[in-house]
Structure 1
Amino acid sequence: MGQNKNIRILDIGCGTGRHSIELAKRGYSVTGIDLSESMLKRSKEKAEKEKVDVDFQKADARNLSFREEFDLAIMLCEGGFSLMETDEMNYQILQNASKSLKKNGKLIFTTLNALFPLYHSVKDFIESQKQDGNTNCEESSFDLMTFREHNITSLEDDSGNKMELHCNERYYVPSEITWLLKSLNFKTIDIYGAKLGPSTGKINSQQTILKCL
């Protein structure tokens, strides 16, 4: 974006505000949306602590009211896209991200890379990434027919409440993503591979980073 501080940025699926707050600290105007009231509460507390102004709103990424308002939309660390139960709902998120952008606006997002399970075991990968903390993946399986990973994750929140999440995440191959974005009239689509952490440039890595214009 050329470090243009006059642009407006939309953070879709902002969670507790990690990216929104960092961008605001760098002088950008940011709106962060999420469906979770508890995450938005935490994001507002963090923004207040950091003394930055971010417009956090509760909203469903599948049904946004924004129309040609933002110069850049971001969905990082699967901020919504690829986490839905159906392909149709995932596509709705891309549609709404596209509608929110001004002419010549840009979209940057990450999605899980379906080429990764063709070369690696998703279950083994998750096991190898385990770290000390309050989350644990109990079960994991990957369906090559649907490109969906099903897993059960147990976690403990900051208040000590234990819960179990049944997750269903869609992986996408680059050709699928390219077709979906072209159907939304994006003209330039750049795809990068990245593992958890620094970008590696390898197409068979765990995540796919996309920059769309």
Structure 2
Amino acid sequence: MTDQADKTFRPESTQDYGEDPTGVRTSDKYVSEYIRGFVDKWDELIDWNQRADSEGRFFIDILKGRGKDSVLDVATGTGFHSIQLAKAGFAVTSADGSAEMLAKAFQNAVEHDVMLKTVHADWRYLNRDVHGKYDAIICLGNSFTHLFEEADRRRALAEFYAALKHDGVLIIDQRNYDAILDSKKFQTKHKYYYCGDQVTAVPVHVDDGLARFEYTFPDGSKHNLNMFPLRKNYTRGLLREAGFQKVQTYGDFMEDGEESRPDFFIHVAEKLDDE
């Protein structure tokens, strides 16, 4: 475990999907997708101030309402939620599979007068690199969709479960792929998650096994991400099969069903075992 990302990491200078970009469907691909040029622009896509206003105290209240203190952020990205939670008084450990993201998160934390404890970790082997038990784990930013193989998804959830205390809670989100797959159209309120109004994020290919998004930035640069389009009920089923006994789903920070077509689903899964 280190206090900052491994500086020996050497990122790819450009994204490379070969001759068939829609054929690239592996869980490890995200590492080379997050090249430095893309990571450096990621906060333009998020818009931290707007994101903070849109979600308010949602995650803070869920965690504090359940008496949680220690939080493992397994998809810290550029650090938004790790920093917000640290400022709110939680003991946060920040993990990510992308060394580039971890380096950017550490830099952002310094600028916000927060010292992040970071670890470079693959979810499938999480407990090899992250030690101890946590009150809560968060996996946000549509990150779980980077896992293409069902075996990888099940293994990651098993690792999350093992890293939680006996009454721990996992908060995991996903884009509303049901709406995209069922309507074959993409609509977004551009309000809650990717709030940067100068950046466009649109699917350029969608089928049952791939949602390929293209991100266009104000300087004209374009970057892509290949993601697995998780359906809401499929994810809820995986959580229950991983051992989580109570799963509550929100749509854009509202109770499930209150928002007819949310951009994102947020699942709050509670361990509640008798260890």
TM-score range, shorter chain: 0.7 to 0.9
- Structure having the higher helix fraction is 2
1:142 corresponds to which of 201, 206, 209: 206
1:183 aligned onto 2:249: no
Q: CA deviation at 1:8?
A: 0.8
SS at match of 1:91: helix
1:61 aligned onto 2:123: yes
Contact 2:176 2:232 (8 Å CA) reproduced: yes
Q: CA deviation at 1:211?
A: 0.7
Rounded to whole Å, the distance in 2 between the matches of 1:133 and 1:99 is: 40
Rounded to whole Å, the distance in 1 between the matches of 2:168 and 2:133 is: 9
Q: TM-score normalized by structure 2? A: 0.62
Q: CA deviation at 1:95?
A: 1.8
CA displacement, residues 125-172 of structure 1 (integer Å, 9 cap, x when unaligned): 26x7596535554x52332xx3x4432525569xx8956425132222
Name 1:83's counterpart in structure 2. Answer: 146
1:152-167 → structure 2 map (5 Å cutoff): 152-155=213-216, 162=221, 164-167=223-226
2:162 corresponds to which of 82, 89, 99: 99
Q: CA deviation at 1:85?
A: 2.4
Contact 1:13 1:33 (8 Å CA) reproduced: yes
1:73 aligned onto 2:134: no
SS at match of 1:46: helix
> Which residue identity is paired with 2:105?
S
Contact 2:181 2:206 (8 Å CA) reproduced: no
Rounded to whole Å, the distance in 2 between the matches of 1:193 and 1:136 is: 20
Return closer, same or farther for 1:101/1:122 CA change in 2, 3 Å cut-off: farther
Name 1:172's counterpart in structure 2. Answer: 231
Rounded to whole Å, the distance in 1 between the matches of 2:211 and 2:64 is: 39
1:24 corresponds to which of 62, 65, 86: 86
Name 2:42's counterpart in structure 1. Answer: none
Q: TM-score normalized by structure 1? A: 0.78
1:3-42 → structure 2 map (5 Å cutoff): 7-42=69-104
Contact 1:122 1:142 (8 Å CA) reproduced: no
Name 1:192's counterpart in structure 2. Answer: 250
Q: CA deviation at 1:24?
A: 0.5
Name 2:37's counterpart in structure 1. Answer: none
SS at match of 1:44: helix
Rounded to whole Å, the distance in 2 between the matches of 1:42 and 1:131 is: 18
Unpaired runs of 5+ in structure 1? none
Rounded to whole Å, the distance in 2 between the matches of 1:36 and 1:185 is: 28
Rounded to whole Å, the distance in 2 between the matches of 1:186 and 1:152 is: 31
Unpaired runs of 5+ in structure 2? 1-62, 271-275
> Which has the bigger relative contact order, CA under 8 A and spacing at least 6?
2
